[in-house]
Amino acid sequence: MNYSHFDAKVGIYLYAGVLDDQTLIVSCVVDAGVRRSFSSSYPKKTNQKQEATLSFPRSGPIRKSLCVCLSPSAIPPVMTEGKKQPFDANEAPSLVKELKESFRTGRTRSYEWRVSQLKGIEKMVEEREKDISEALYKDLSKPEFEAFVSEIAAVKSSCEEALKELKQWMKPEKAKTSMTAYPSSAEIVSEPLGAVLVISTWNYPFLLSIDPVIGAIAAGNAVVLKPSEIAPVTSSLLSELFEEYLDSSAVRVVEGAVPETAALLEQKWDKIFYTGSPRVGRIVMTAAAKHLTPVVLELGGKCPVVVDSDVDLQVTARRIIAGKWQLNNGQACISVDYIIATKDFAPKLIDALRNGIEEFFGADPMESKYISRIVSSNHFSRLERLLDEYKVFNKIVVGGQRNQKKLKIAPTIFLDVPEDSQLMQEEIFGPLLPIITVENVKDSIDLINSKPEPLVAYLFTNNQKLRNDFVQNVSCGGMVINDTVLHVTVSSLPFGGVGESGMGSYHGKFSFDAFSHKKAVLYRSFSGDSPVRYPPYTPENKKLMRAVMNGGIFDIILALMGWSRD
């Protein structure tokens, strides 16, 4: 079956057809000189699981092409009889219209509504914790303890803080005024944006869905959450929970895959919040640009760890393990991606990591119940390709075992893989960890800066000068010294990327601000209306106005007396 369509209104050509027996390709060609739009078609039916992979082919000088390839390992499960009907992509415009109408009634703006919805989330997590934990296990084999600490407890904490601080966050902020506006007062008023879209990801499918929604609700918006179809059990549970615990006139969940996401992205939102890869982030940003919709992009990148030779080796190794294999088995945007150490120190670090892995996960990590599996067969195959690349397969110093049936790969460490290997060119997002050696640890700064800005950079050292140089000279979304990943637990710190790793930030009040417009308001009375601002512009008026604009009280007094410094 082939399908093609040309929309002359926006200059877009869409082709959908069977690429081979099991793969459907959806190609969206957009004329570079006109408005951009996105569309897609439903995947070919199959009994196998599937997940979406998106790619940007090389483009010619006139047209740009976006291809969405759906492989057999990525097709979402077919709905069985009795289950909730899937979202019809054609309903996307009416969905947005309903939410905007609900927003315009003003109900979401009230403090009472915001609190009621936040309390609904709090109650939801409290009452359905077991269901949430089970869903995370079914999707990712995520250990119960890890699910609680990294997802359930984190959501509870965000909700509690929002409830505690909401009144303060909603208060207008006083602002200073200038002499030119005297007498006056000013303030910055936080107002909700309207109807917002949150597109979440699969690796922390509960936390990364709910956390932005908490910010959107706290700020007084109507919100649609599109969870990831790659974590289908959690996605289905979120849809059920939102319907049960939250106000469906203003807070919705849309389940689905590429067609549903594409349909949502075609709509005019007041903000889009996306968590995922830089590649798909570009698609989201291009779609948003059509409507001048602002975006927050929480992306990823290759997060480095620099290890100096003066560290507490055992503590350092344990914290690196916690930031890699205890973190969803490396499937996290803030996960340790590669290590930089000196040639002399690297063997000691490898021994410490090997011992730590055995201590935490046993002699055979493949059988450990404390480590997550790879999310899907497609991602497993991608990691296998990285493992088996001819440039790196002989560089393995720890691990390397794999089990495709169980979707498990052991914690694997490489030493001195080539810089041009795929392992060092793309974000790993899995249990593979290369160690790069340098002559001097100071060389690590130039090495990191030679790559796109990471979401986070880590440094282990007792050297104050090295620490200062690292903080001042490494550009990244965030930074942790002598630990990994814990910065995300500090709500007073903004979490977000820079450059390739994203734009915008959230957590704590930063989440509230991400979904708010900061409206500037100046208040004046009818008194103090000086004639100096109005024609005719006499020499005396000019002197006085110049004195006022310069802001010097002495000059103003001189001007009022008819004098000047000249």
Catalytic residues: 298, 333
Query: Which among 526, 525, 506 is positioned nearest to 516, based on CA atoms?
Result: 506
Q: How far is CA 24 from the centre of its chain?
A: 28
| Torsional sign, CA 208, 210, 214, 220 | positive
- Looking at residue 141, what DSSP letter applies? -
- Looking at residue 394, what DSSP letter applies? G
Sequence-ordered list of residues with C-beta below 8 angstroms from that of 117, at least 6 positions apart, any chain: 217, 246, 247, 250, 251
Q: Do residues 197 and 264 make contact, with C-beta atoms less than 8 angstroms apart? A: yes
Query: Which among 157, 188, 158 is positioned nearest to 175, based on CA atoms?
Result: 188
Q: Do residues 250 and 102 make contact, with C-beta atoms less than 8 angstroms apart? A: yes
Place of tokens 């205890």: 326
Burial class of residue 309 (count of CB atoms within 10 Å of its CB; 0-12, 13-18, 19+): middle
Could you count the other beta carbons within 10 Å of the beta carbon of residue 174? 10
Query: Which among 117, 354, 107 is positioned nearest to 217, based on CA atoms?
Result: 117
Query: Which among 385, 407, 400, 388 is positioned nearest to 354, based on CA atoms?
Result: 400
**How far apart, in whole angstroms, are the C-alpha atoms of residue 207 and residue 201?**
10
Q: Do residues 238 and 225 make contact, with C-beta atoms less than 8 angstroms apart? A: yes
Alpha carbon distance, N-terminus to C-terminus of the chain: 85
**How far apart, in whole angstroms, are the C-alpha atoms of residue 17 and residue 533?**
68
**How far apart, in whole angstroms, are the C-alpha atoms of residue 406 and residue 548?**
75
The per-residue b/e assignment along 357-378, b for 16 or more CB within 10 angstroms, e otherwise, is beebbeeebbebeebbbbbbbb
Q: Do residues 305 and 454 make contact, with C-beta atoms less than 8 angstroms apart? A: no
DSSP string, 333-378: TTS--EEEEETTTHHHHHHHHHHHHHHHH-S-GGG-TTSPPPS-HH
Q: Do residues 427 and 301 make contact, with C-beta atoms less than 8 angstroms apart? A: yes
Place of tokens 């063997």: 347
